[in-house]
């Protein structure tokens, strides 16, 4: 387990905080992704776990062993933390072969030559590079070079795998392929992993849990499904994917798990947590994902959350149409089947099932 409590890192002037009082845990055998825009503190947090940065305050424990504590003046060197790390740049040695790159970190660990060879070949096989052991590193593709970096990181059987934007230099198809390979290997080895990315799709597809960061602080943490379908903050809702944001007023409960709101579109029924402590008249925000809006040429039979609008524009994106629908003074984003015949200016009816609409606190 990775246990980070109250992590703070400042540079130069004590007011310049890269990370401010960040706390999270990564249960054994799982992968947690630190997700956020550039400069949010995610890489600094990972480097503090690795020991490449010395925090200003807080505590870091790896599998029950404290590797950093400001209050107890503990700082364990990076080489003694038993972590493997993969960087944004492949960081492989161009003058070495695939085998030499993977085997090099194993030297000087008291292993025999045959043990080093066996571990290196095992790691190479795990990342599907067998047959390329003698290939010079510069003659590999970008995806192959990143797999060499992955093999090198796992060859030493680290307790923890740290990955800092490892796929950002690859093209879209290779990123998808490598996401699957990293996730499959992590599950196979049961390796506790901390992953850093600014790519929302990458985080959703590879993670057991996601910690969303902004401005050096941790905004919220949850499973990929929770942070996408049930975000607890406006920042998370807007950063992870696309969402329609409707300022609204809380009217009251409408049966188990449902609430009635007044919105710019009119009355709106939404899912809500039973523990939500909103009172009548409270300002809230309704969140509706584009894929949750259903479009049709006739009004939905339920009569609930049904509005009429006009197609402002459509953009063909291959697997769906990105639609902008004008409803009164609101522009709603929706995703439609790519073969749907929608013309600009055409009248269209919208419907969102109440369970696909969520509520967070906020001002209208």
- Tokens matching residue 41: 């503190």
How far is 151 from 155, CA to CA, in rounded Å?
Answer: 6
Crossing angle between the packed helical segments 142-155 and 113-126, to the nearest 10 degrees: 130
Residues contacting 357, CB < 8 A, separation 6+? 268, 269, 270, 271, 286, 287, 288, 292, 305
Domain ranges of the chain: 2-238, 242-361
What superfamily would CATH give domain 2-238? Answer: P-loop containing nucleotide triphosphate hydrolases (3.40.50.300)
Q: Say which CATH topology domain 242-361 has.
A: OB fold (Dihydrolipoamide Acetyltransferase, E2P) (2.40.50)
pLDDT of amino acid 364: 42
pLDDT of amino acid 109: 79
- Tokens matching residue 110: 């008291």
b/e code 89-101 from CB counts within 10 Å (16+ = b) = ebebeeebbbbbb
How far is 64 from 51, CA to CA, in rounded Å?
Answer: 16
**Rounded to the nearest 5 degrees, what angle is found at the Cα of 222, between the Cα atoms of 221 and 225?**
140
Long-range contacts: 77-80, Cβ < 8 Å, 24+? 77/51, 78/50, 78/51, 78/52
pLDDT of amino acid 274: 61
pLDDT of amino acid 82: 92
Q: For every one of its 364 residues, what pLDDT tens digit does the chain have, with 9 covering 90 and above?
A: 999 999 999 987 666 789 999 999 999 999 999 999 999 999 999 999 999 999 999 999 999 999 999 999 999 999 899 999 998 877 788 899 999 999 988 887 788 999 999 999 999 999 989 999 999 988 998 889 989 999 999 998 899 999 999 988 888 888 888 898 899 999 999 999 999 999 999 999 999 999 999 999 999 999 999 999 999 999 999 999 999 999 999 999 887 889 999 999 999 999 887 656 788 889 999 999 999 999 998 888 888 999 999 999 999 999 999 999 999 889 999 999 999 889 999 999 999 999 999 999 885 4
Rounded to 5, what percent of the chain is helix, strand, coil?
A: 25, 35, 40
């Amino acid at each position: 387990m990775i246990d980070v409590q109250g992590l703070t890192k400042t540079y130069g002037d004590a007011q310049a905080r890269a990370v401010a009082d960040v706390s999270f845990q990564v249960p054994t055998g799982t992968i947690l992704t630190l997700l956020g825009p550039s400069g949010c503190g995610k890489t600094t947090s990972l480097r503090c776990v690795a020991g490449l940065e010395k925090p200003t305050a807080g505590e870091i424990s790896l599998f029950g062993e404290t590797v950093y504590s400001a209050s107890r003046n503990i700082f364990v060197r990076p080489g003694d933390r038993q972590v493997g790390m993969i960087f944004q740049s492949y960081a492989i040695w161009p003058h070495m072969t695939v085998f030499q790159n993977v085997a090099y970190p194993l030297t000087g660990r008291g292993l025999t030559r045959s043990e080093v060879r066996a571990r290196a070949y095992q790691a190479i096989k795990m990342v599907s590079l067998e047959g390329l052991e003698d290939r010079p590193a510069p003659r590999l593709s970008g995806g192959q070079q990143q797999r060499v970096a992955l093999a090198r990181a796992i060859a030493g059987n680290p307790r923890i795998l740290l990955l800092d934007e490892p796929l950002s230099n690859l093209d879209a198809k290779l990123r998808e392929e490598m996401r699957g390979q990293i996730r499959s290997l992590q599950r196979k080895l049961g390796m506790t992993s901390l992953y850093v990315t600014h790519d929302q799709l990458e985080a959703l597809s590879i993670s057991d849990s996601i910690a969303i960061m902004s401005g050096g602080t941790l905004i919220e943490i949850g499973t990929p499904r929770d942070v996408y379908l049930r975000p607890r903050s406006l920042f998370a809702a807007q950063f992870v994917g696309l969402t329609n944001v409707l300022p609204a007023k809380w009217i009251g409960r409408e049966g188990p798990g449902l609430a009635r709101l007044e919105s710019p579109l009119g009355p709106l029924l939404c899912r809500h947590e039973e523990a939500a402590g909103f009172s009548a008249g409270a300002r809230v925000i309704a969140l509706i994902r584009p894929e949750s809006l259903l479009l049709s040429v006739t009004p939905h039979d339920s009569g609930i959350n049904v509005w009429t609008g006009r197609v402002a524009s459509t953009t063909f994106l291959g697997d769906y149409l990105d639609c902008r629908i004008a409803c009164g003074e609101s522009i709603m984003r929706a995703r439609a089947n790519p073969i749907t015949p929608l013309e600009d200016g055409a009248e269209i009816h919208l419907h969102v099932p109440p369970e696909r609409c969520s509520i967070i606190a906020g001002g209208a």
